[in-house]
Structure 1
Amino acid sequence: MRTTGQLRLALMTSVFITASLCAAPSFAQQASDTEQASSVDDIVVTARRREESLKDVPVAVSAVSAERLEQTGAADITTLQQQTPNATVQIARGTNSTLTSFIRGVGQQDPLWGFEPGVGLYVDDVYVARPQGAVLDIFDIERLEVLRGPQGTLYGRNTIGGAIKYVTKRLGQDPELTLKGAYGSYNQVDLIASGSTPLTDTLRIGGAVARYTRDGYGTNLTTGAEHYNKDVTAGRLSVEWTPTDDLFFRLAGDITEDESNARHGYRLKAPTTDGIYDTRAGIGDDGYVRTRGLSFTGEWNVNDALTFKSVTAWRDGDTKGDGIDFDGLPQPILDIPGYYADSQFTQEFQLLFEGERWQGVAGLFYMDASAEGAFDTVIGLYPSMGPGLPAGLTTFTGGKVDTESFAVFADFSYDLTDQLSLSVGGRWTQDKKSVDQLRQNYLGIKSPFFGNSVPIPAGRPSTDYTNSDTYSEFTPRISASYKFTPELTGYASYGRGFKSGGFDMRGDASLYPETINGYQPELVDTYEVGLKGSLLDRRINFATALFKSEYTDQQITSQFFIPPASVVSFVDNAGSSEIWGWELEASARITDSFIPRLTLGYLDAKFNEFVTFNPVTGKRENMADQRQFQNTPDWTANIALPYSVDLGDRGSVIFTPMASYRGATQMFETAIPLLDQGSYWLYDATLMWTAPDARYRVSLAGRNLGDERYRAGGYNFPGAITGDSVIGFYGAPRTVTLSVTANF
């Protein structure tokens, strides 16, 4: 039986298609900048490490330009969850700036150091290894690209689910200055300045700085501190040098500091608070996340057929603060203070080839990365033992993972005829990981690492080991594309994705001795057919894909509370599964002023095998019939109805209402009815005026206008010992923002 949300989705889809097919044939074919490029011929992406028309790329790619991001009131890259089919891109539980991302059911929720993401994040051509600080605000950007499905050839570093590319602008030839200010709900104030200027005929310098502040959506009722607030400062600086027409160099640096207060969840079991954004947490009002990076890019056009490119980059990050109060109460029932730090150096060489009927790229990739962290599991008292009776037990967990990765890759395309093209590629990757981990129980509140100088060690460490392992894999990709007409291209492809193995940094060797051996890589084999192009004289433009993924050796984390005072996890290569899916992105030119857009995604993901530890029986069992995919709704949809009006010498106005649907999801593989999120709709709208000369722009953006309350994450530690700690973290409430932009 269909739910109300599914019926509404079907109705809106039908209306969109009917309106599209009824569009009159006489309208113009070229879209203005304000209306967005209406044809896939007009959209240029770099999904295959070279600039190509979206229609010619045999990959499922979503490209969202800076113009569209502004039209829809997008603030950061989590907007991709609404505008991309079959994607989860949201702020991780208990954080302000850590990214949780899934594409086509494949990703990583757990941001613990040493774990690898399932969706790769790239800033330009630089791989970002860790999710901390990865909820990137949108400023000084050219576009976002989302590559769906395993990118095992060109973006092979843990892109088993796909890749997200944050593409910044290159500097212009003329002096430019853009100032933007915004004020909105909850005393939101955004101030952004960006610009560039030539220093000589061949040398340009540019940069951007942004300051974001906002009061909290809620309050810590114990301490009075703001909750769900924002306090972020970010900046970028770049220098570009073009000594000749064949040489280009770019040195770029960026830094972001997030001093927003720590974010706590809402108790779903009594005692609760009146507001879902409020908490009674006893710790964790302070938070600090810093990320920074430096990159150097060089390009040499050797001749008309050959280009050499080098990308050298360094990044690091630190996360500090009071930690997360898992119980949401003033007493230290289940408190987790934590610390994270990471650094990475990457070097990539690319050789791009282009001939009359062939093109391709080959290259080398190297990464040297380190990730470390520590946290305490503090059990200050047991509610079941009487009011205020102290337990004073702490488990310290800390360690470090060093990763050295090397890869060689190539991808070539050849036009067999004017209509038929064949692409073949492959990537060989080798990762070597070294681990050092310690778990120690203490009598006392907090460990020495987190400021208690007098705790008493409770026996020997439960885990204390060093180990290393090497993982390697060859991931091929092959595709064929066929131009049925100049406006319509179909493709079929096969690709394999690889995510590196590793070690569980929560592992307790006294309870699970195998943890010191680590877990092995996981693989995805995906078969896909797609169709892209234009219909009805380019008045309808679309891209659609049907795919099947065979997912093996899935790395799945199961967490349990083991009395008297230990949160432990088991990371197993527990699962194998099949994922079927379908995706559609379409736009229709009803008139020159009205070009609605539609995206639809459907997923059917089922475990064939899920072998893991059963805490009830104390044995490893196949529990596939009791498990479902996390963060994987069956349907996702978005419909936007931008309508523009030309006011002549008074400029132009565009109004963009948008509705987004997301099907029901589980937070974890095991169903938790109290915590899991049902299906919901989000409604947004943006009204934007642009001056005739495009120098000034005023925008009024409303987000979540229906004030939908939906969970984006959670923790589940029920029971008297943990204070019934079942807590949820929620998406933003209704907000309205007024912004003014001036270009000079």
Structure 2
Amino acid sequence: MHRSTKTATAAIALIWASLYAQTAFAETSENAGNSEAGGDVADNGNAPAAQDGEETSRGDVIIVTARRRQETAQEVPLAISVIRGDSVESTGNFNVVKLQQLAPTLQVYTSNPRNTAVNIRGLGVPYGLTSDGFEQGVGIYVDDVYNARVAAATFDFLDVEQVEVLRGPQGTLYGKNTTAGAINITTNQPTFDFEGRAEVTVGNLNFRQAKAAISGPLSDTIAARIAVATTSRRGTIFNVTSDRYINEQDNLGLRGTLLFQPNDDLSVTLSGDYSKQNPECCGTVFVRVGRTQRALARQYEALAAAQGYSVVSRNPFDRLTDIDASLNAGNKIGGASFKVKWDVGPGTFTSISAWRFWDWKPENDRDFTGLSIVAKSQNPSQQNQYSQEFRYNYSGDAIDFVVGVFGFKQRIDTQGVEQQGINASRWNLTGALANNPAVLNGLTALNTQYLKSTSAALFGQLSWKITDALTIQPGIRINYDKKEGFYQRRVVDGAGVEISCFNPAPPAGSIRAAQCGVYQPQLSAPSVSDWNFSYDLNVNYKLAEDVLAYATYAKSFKTVGINQNGLPTDAAGNPILAAGVIKPESVNHFEVGLKTQLWDRKATFNLAAFRTDIKNYQATVTNGQLGVLRGYLANAGKVRSQGLEADLKIRPSDRFSAYANAAYTDAKYVRFVDAPCPPELAGGTTATAANPPSPPGTAGGFSPANCDISGQRLPGVSKWAISYGAEVNTPLTLFATEGQLYVGFDGNYRSGFSSNPSPSIYTNIEGYALSNYRVGFRSDNFEIYGWVRNVFDVNYFELLQVAPSNVGLVAGQLGDPRTVGATVKLSF
């Protein structure tokens, strides 16, 4: 847990005595205007804020970097949510996973840092086990640097200025192509005025969080900034087997930045960051058992009884588990970037060179029980990525444009170990072999794999102001991708003898045949390259000074993929090589929107309607058998996501503000005729013309080889998602310090959603609403407040998972219970 490191970091934060005390009610338009050029301005539908001086009476002005140039939020003709750093802190949303509580169209699901899905409007990456062989649909950018691994989403925000969530394809403005949207994170930059800030938070569950940053000049032309953040918390589930709490938090992050600015036309920035996590994570709790089509004696209840096993609790919200395998989510991520910005003539040239690494050391309990069925499940991997982007921005009276080139190279190496335990034979075999633990005990699959990925692109977008009111914005992207993979699985038995399952195949009913039914050796080396051309067109019209209407069409793609975790096999056990390559997705996106400011800009109301159609959708296909093939990619015929989004923010005075954001999302498979079957239709003898599929949940029945789930909802997407909040304050002098006493509230609601790639009656998650409160005092350089999150202690699931082997066991990951605490901030 590295408690000593965390204590030392907190002490450093206090010694620095620095804090960022600008809150959502005290941010000035002058500060917002100091955002780095090359970005967009977006409206803040999520975080109410006030401006000092003249702007206060006319609402706030927020500068963003979404379109690679400075402009206000309401001038940006696309759907975008902006959450400023102070609002991120005050609402307790300290990473992307938490951020979805403020941005309703953002969905983040994580069973561990590697198996994390970040989606917008239900699109982005397929739901289920992550494969290295495909790209993200939602790009995560930190200071213009693309983060290829979604594990970055699980780390704490570090000295963040603001976060922009852009919805819809962004490939003509960003280095790496993104088909569903982008999360653009901007950190605070070095200053030539000395400043510092620090904050310390304590709460129940032994929650401890400390953040600090210090910035200032080293000379007339060089400035530096150093930031540190640390978070620790006791786990929320008690494991009776290990006699300790699991699913804890244990994060440490460091960032350093040097700025060289010899004149107003040139700036050179060198940044480096390092973050690590080392929690005992990520375990599950028993949720329920559902009837599958496996023989009744081979389903969960009968198998558990035959081995004298009883789960510690059948009520998941007792927060008890008895999983027996070791757990770890060791996670290190970091890198360095070198950025040059040079005003050349009428435009700005920008170069961003970056290197990033990711080191992942997991240990999991893949059977979700206190039995030793899967004794080990460990797939550590190491990634290095290099990227280079050149971009030129031009702004004129009638024409603005951005043109850029992007290069990306990545390598990922993985060394996997999966091992069967002493209870595996009874769980997976039949007859006399099921009563012999030695058949499978110690059977081990050793997986070695690597991925080499190369990408290059030319992109650009033109903004032509035909009149003062009418603007047309076309954009194009030309993209090249190449992927080379290698996968080898070697299998050894409990005696350490390497086994072969082919040429010749072992006799049916033999011990070796039983072992080959669980782990089979395999070798594959898929390779593919592909060119893509995509484009978009935006037309926007100013109906009035504060009313902007826009319409967008985008033809986009997600690049070709490969199956990197092994391939499905034919009847003879040979890998199906044709399944090694996954077709690129073809995306057609339509969107119309209206952005308005009313009541002398004291109210903002934005509305967007969208439809996205994707052909050859890259879906995750899972296999119910232990160890044979955990998951692979395949193309679904077509999916569609459509819906409406509305953002409302009001600030009638300096003393009150409120916001409400709502999203209706209808996301479904339009055509997916050969999908994996849900558990209630899996596990039985494969159906034939003479023996058609049995009704769902028929023990010992006939199961279809695959299922047609056309027309069913995509997993992880709530039809309705709403976030809302308000804050009221009054002047107060405390200890001779003038400031404000304030009370704030924020909440969110999500309707029910499916938690399985193929919708199942056993994995639907009911809707829930969460409410958070805070009350405190703030001044220009000091703030103290108390907070309660999930104030009504709502019980809810973040994720449900179906156990392997079609035994009907469903395990889950729980949302946080009620948490309470206090935060102190200082600044100078």
Shared fold, TM over 0.5: yes
* Percent pairwise identity: 27
Q: CA deviation at 1:658?
A: 1.5
Name the CA shift for 1:32/1:644 in 2 (closer, same or farther; >3 Å): farther
1:424-463 matches, within 5 Å, as: 424-444=474-494, 454-459=496-501, 462-463=521-522
Name the CA shift for 1:323/1:79 in 2 (closer, same or farther; >3 Å): closer
CA contact (8 A) 2:283 2:364 kept: no
Q: CA deviation at 1:496?
A: 2.5
Q: CA deviation at 1:330?
A: 4.0
Distance 2:555 2:535 in 1: 6
Q: CA deviation at 1:723?
A: 6.0
Q: CA deviation at 1:67?
A: 2.1
Q: CA deviation at 1:470?
A: 0.6
> What whole-Å deviation, never above 9, does each CA across 1:85-143 have from its counterpart, x for those lacking one?
322024x11x2576421101102243333332221100110000011243231331100
Residues 1:551 and 2:568 aligned together: no
Distance 1:197 1:529 in 2: 44
The equivalent of 2:473 in structure 1 is 423
Query: In structure 2, the residue corresponding to 1:589 is in which secondary structure?
Result: strand
Distance 2:804 2:410 in 1: 37
Name the CA shift for 1:639/1:667 in 2 (closer, same or farther; >3 Å): same
Q: CA deviation at 1:59?
A: 1.2
Residues 1:280 and 2:299 aligned together: no
2:796 paired residue among 698, 706, 710: 710
1:482 paired residue among 541, 546, 557: 541
1:314-329 matches, within 5 Å, as: 314-329=355-370
The equivalent of 1:20 in structure 2 is none
Query: In structure 1, the residue corresponding to 2:624 is in which secondary structure?
Result: strand
The equivalent of 2:184 in structure 1 is 165
Q: CA deviation at 1:41?
A: 6.5
2:763 paired residue among 675, 690, 693: 675
Distance 2:620 2:167 in 1: 24
> What whole-Å deviation, never above 9, does each CA across 1:254-310 have from its counterpart, x for those lacking one?
00010111211112247444454432122223331100110000000012x111000
Could you tell which deviates more after superposition, 130-139 or 244-253?
Answer: 130-139
Query: In structure 2, the residue corresponding to 1:732 is in which secondary structure?
Result: coil
Name the CA shift for 1:628/1:351 in 2 (closer, same or farther; >3 Å): same
Q: CA deviation at 1:422?
A: 0.8
* Letter of the 1:415 counterpart: K
Could you tell which deviates more after superposition, 734-743 or 269-278?
Answer: 269-278
CA contact (8 A) 1:262 1:324 kept: no
The equivalent of 2:513 in structure 1 is none
CA contact (8 A) 1:686 1:701 kept: yes
The equivalent of 1:396 in structure 2 is 446
Distance 1:548 1:155 in 2: 21
Alignment size in residue pairs:
699
* Letter of the 1:652 counterpart: Q
The equivalent of 1:155 in structure 2 is 174
CA contact (8 A) 2:803 2:809 kept: yes
Name the CA shift for 1:297/1:175 in 2 (closer, same or farther; >3 Å): same
CA contact (8 A) 2:249 2:279 kept: yes
Q: CA deviation at 1:624?
A: 3.3
CA contact (8 A) 1:212 1:231 kept: yes
CA contact (8 A) 2:51 2:60 kept: no
Q: Which runs of 5+ in 1 are unaligned?
A: 1-28, 446-453
Query: In structure 2, the residue corresponding to 1:361 is in which secondary structure?
Result: strand
CA contact (8 A) 1:310 1:350 kept: yes
The equivalent of 2:776 in structure 1 is 688
The equivalent of 1:740 in structure 2 is 824
The equivalent of 1:43 in structure 2 is 62
What is the aligned-residue RMSD (CA, Å)?
2.5
> What whole-Å deviation, never above 9, does each CA across 1:330-377 have from its counterpart, x for those lacking one?
423474222122110000000110111221110100001012224334
1:286-365 matches, within 5 Å, as: 286-303=328-345, 305-333=346-374, 335-365=376-406
* Letter of the 2:407 counterpart: Y
The equivalent of 1:5 in structure 2 is none
CA contact (8 A) 2:81 2:164 kept: yes
The equivalent of 2:296 in structure 1 is none
Q: CA deviation at 1:528?
A: 0.7
Distance 2:578 2:800 in 1: 25
Distance 1:264 1:597 in 2: 36
Distance 1:654 1:541 in 2: 22
Name the CA shift for 1:377/1:613 in 2 (closer, same or farther; >3 Å): farther
CA contact (8 A) 1:526 1:547 kept: yes
Name the CA shift for 1:30/1:455 in 2 (closer, same or farther; >3 Å): closer
Query: In structure 2, the residue corresponding to 1:234 is in which secondary structure?
Result: strand
* Letter of the 1:456 counterpart: E
The equivalent of 1:141 in structure 2 is 160
Residues 1:382 and 2:425 aligned together: yes
Distance 2:204 2:52 in 1: 29
Query: In structure 2, the residue corresponding to 1:154 is in which secondary structure?
Result: coil
CA contact (8 A) 1:346 1:368 kept: yes
* Letter of the 2:671 counterpart: E
The equivalent of 2:811 in structure 1 is 727
Q: CA deviation at 1:549?
A: 1.1
Q: CA deviation at 1:73?
A: 2.6
* Letter of the 1:103 counterpart: I
> What whole-Å deviation, never above 9, does each CA across 1:671-694 have from its counterpart, x for those lacking one?
233332111101111223212xx1
Larger Rg: 2
Distance 1:738 1:224 in 2: 29
Q: Which runs of 5+ in 2 are unaligned?
A: 1-47, 289-300, 302-309, 503-519, 678-685, 689-703
Q: CA deviation at 1:156?
A: 5.7
* Letter of the 1:566 counterpart: V
1:520 paired residue among 568, 571, 583: 583
**TM norm structure 1:** 0.89
Query: In structure 2, the residue corresponding to 1:79 is in which secondary structure?
Result: helix
Name the CA shift for 1:701/1:97 in 2 (closer, same or farther; >3 Å): farther
Name the CA shift for 1:219/1:502 in 2 (closer, same or farther; >3 Å): same
Q: CA deviation at 1:568?
A: 3.8
Distance 2:497 2:381 in 1: 22
Distance 2:186 2:487 in 1: 37
Query: In structure 2, the residue corresponding to 1:134 is in which secondary structure?
Result: helix
Name the CA shift for 1:709/1:579 in 2 (closer, same or farther; >3 Å): same
Distance 2:826 2:801 in 1: 44
CA contact (8 A) 2:413 2:450 kept: yes
1:493-572 matches, within 5 Å, as: 493-511=552-570, 513-514=576-577, 517-562=580-625, 565-572=627-634
Distance 2:764 2:59 in 1: 38
Name the CA shift for 1:33/1:114 in 2 (closer, same or farther; >3 Å): farther
Residues 1:662 and 2:750 aligned together: yes
CA contact (8 A) 1:463 1:510 kept: no
> What whole-Å deviation, never above 9, does each CA across 1:620-659 have from its counterpart, x for those lacking one?
8671347420111101001101112222553112222122
CA contact (8 A) 1:429 1:473 kept: yes
Q: CA deviation at 1:211?
A: 1.9
1:5-20 matches, within 5 Å, as: none
1:630 paired residue among 682, 695, 715: 715
Distance 2:56 2:710 in 1: 46
Q: CA deviation at 1:612?
A: 2.3
Distance 1:625 1:613 in 2: 9
CA contact (8 A) 2:80 2:166 kept: yes
Name the CA shift for 1:622/1:389 in 2 (closer, same or farther; >3 Å): closer
Distance 1:599 1:41 in 2: 17
CA contact (8 A) 2:558 2:584 kept: yes
Q: CA deviation at 1:440?
A: 3.1
Residues 1:410 and 2:460 aligned together: yes
The equivalent of 1:22 in structure 2 is none
Distance 2:385 2:465 in 1: 39
Could you tell which deviates more after superposition, 291-300 or 114-123?
Answer: 114-123
